[in-house]
Amino acid sequence: MYEFAAPIKLIHPFLLYAACAVGAIGVWLALPRKKVNPQLLGGAIAGFAVGLVLLGLGIGAFQNQPEMDNPPTMLPSIYFYIFAAIALAASLRMITHPRPVYAALYFILTILSSCGLYLILSAEFMAFALVIIYAGAILITYLFVIMLATQAPSEEQPDALSDYDASAREPAIASGVGFVLLALLTTMLFEGVRVLDRRDEANPKGGQLAFQTTAEADVLARLPGKVEKSLRREGLITDEQSIQRNEETGRAMIFPDARTVLVEPSSEEGEPFDLLDWPESLEATNTEMVGFDLLANQPGSIEIAGVILLMAMLGATVLSRRQVEVDEELKAKQAAALPVVHTSAADGGGS
């Protein structure tokens, strides 16, 4: 169905590999380690690498601008750069911050800025769902567990980090492996395969029109109340009038090709049906489209999602109810580590 366009050379592979190498060095420097800790320098180097690639991509996009009087924009909006910078910087800080609570908070920042990217991509429903589910629910659970599962600080050094937080495991190998993978991935994306074409290159509006006539019109036909409300708001029909519905399916009688809607006649002796023009404001929102796609086209997979969630809930309950055998040696060590005041308080209060 899809035609392949000529490959667009977006970015020079040498620039891509150089940026990946610089980024690997930056992330390696930014990962926590014991003595010398040049995190700021590492972050700056990694940010420089990301900026290099984005600049290269931007220049590539600008050079490939089609030669028309009013070319469609090949560059993303300025908000893309802002949100992408915040998201990547926060995710880098998340994996390099030695304290888990701060890491979780930086993860929330990453989530919020990728919600900004979702909004630019006009996926409003998923953006708000992400804020509610991730930043609201999952991250709160993480914060609870971080507070449950943290050793009590010792008396002498209340700010001391645990050993496993203060130093990373094999930072050089990890960042090397990661950025080799990134170089491969981005090469595949930008050079190795041809850029997938839009649906209809000859007709730049074709994709949108074809889309509106099929998916969106289908959704609107299933929402006769919305069509009616939209017509009333535009003053095209009176309050008593209603639109024609298909007698078998109950769908609204709308004709997306001609952009008309069939309504009941305004008076008794008039024509049997009135054909009204489709108002500009009548369009399905993102939430309606996603909802219909979810419930009408993928009803089986939503059941599977429910089963996954149920299983996870059961599993978590079973896991957390299990009794843990703590050996006596460890108990003695814990008791010795507790300060004297706390020990007497624990004795008095009982546990």
Partner 1 sequence: MESLAGTLTFAQSAMPDAFQPTTLAHYLFVSAAMFIIGLIGFLARRNLIIMFLCTELMFQAAGLALIAFSRYYLEHTGQTFVVFVLTVAAAEAALALALVVLLFRTRDSLDADLWDEMKG
Distance between CA atoms of residues 71 and 149, nearest Å: 56
Contact status: 17 vs partner 1 (CB under 8 A)? no
Examine residue 146 and tell whether it contacts partner 1 (CB under 8 A).
yes
- Looking at the Cβ atoms of 16 and 263, the one nearer to partner 1 is 16
How far apart are CB 234 and partner 1 at their closest, in Å? 18
Tokens representing 202 are: 């000859």
Q: Which of residues 253-292 bind partner 1 (CB under 8 A)?
A: 283, 286, 289-290
Residue of 18, 44, 195, 276 interacting with partner 1 (CB under 8 A):
195
**Interface pattern 39-68 for partner 1 (x via CB under 8 A):** -----------x--xx--xx-xxx-xx---
Q: How far apart are CA 26 and CA 41, in angstroms?
A: 7
- The answer to whether 104 and 55 are in contact (CB under 8 A) is no
Say how many C-beta atoms besides its own lie within 10 A of residue 295's C-beta: 10
Q: Give the type of residue at 193.
A: V
Instruction: Determine the distance from the C-alpha atom of residue 251 to the mean position of all C-alpha atoms in its chain, rounded to a whole number.
Output: 34
Q: How far is CA 137 from CA 96, 142, 316, in A?
A: 23, 9, 16
Q: Least distance from C-beta 45 to partner 1, angstroms?
A: 14
Quote the least distance from Cβ 155 to partner 1, whole Å: 18
DSSP 262-277: EE--SSTTS-S-EEEE
Indicate the SS3 state at residue 252: strand
Using an 8 Å Cβ cutoff, are 93 and 40 in contact?
A: no
Closest separation in Å from C-beta 224 to partner 1 = 21
Smallest separation, CB 300 to partner 1 (Å): 12
Residues 116-145 that bind partner 1 (CB under 8 A): 117-118, 120-123, 125-126, 129-130, 133-134, 137-138, 141-142, 145
Applying CB under 8 A, which of residues 208, 246, 343, 344 lies at the interface with partner 1?
208
- The span of 244-252, 267-275, 304-312, 340-348 binding partner 1 (CB under 8 A) equals 304-312
**Residue 345 C-alpha from the chain's centroid:** 47
Q: Which is nearer to partner 1, 50 or 227 (CB)?
A: 50
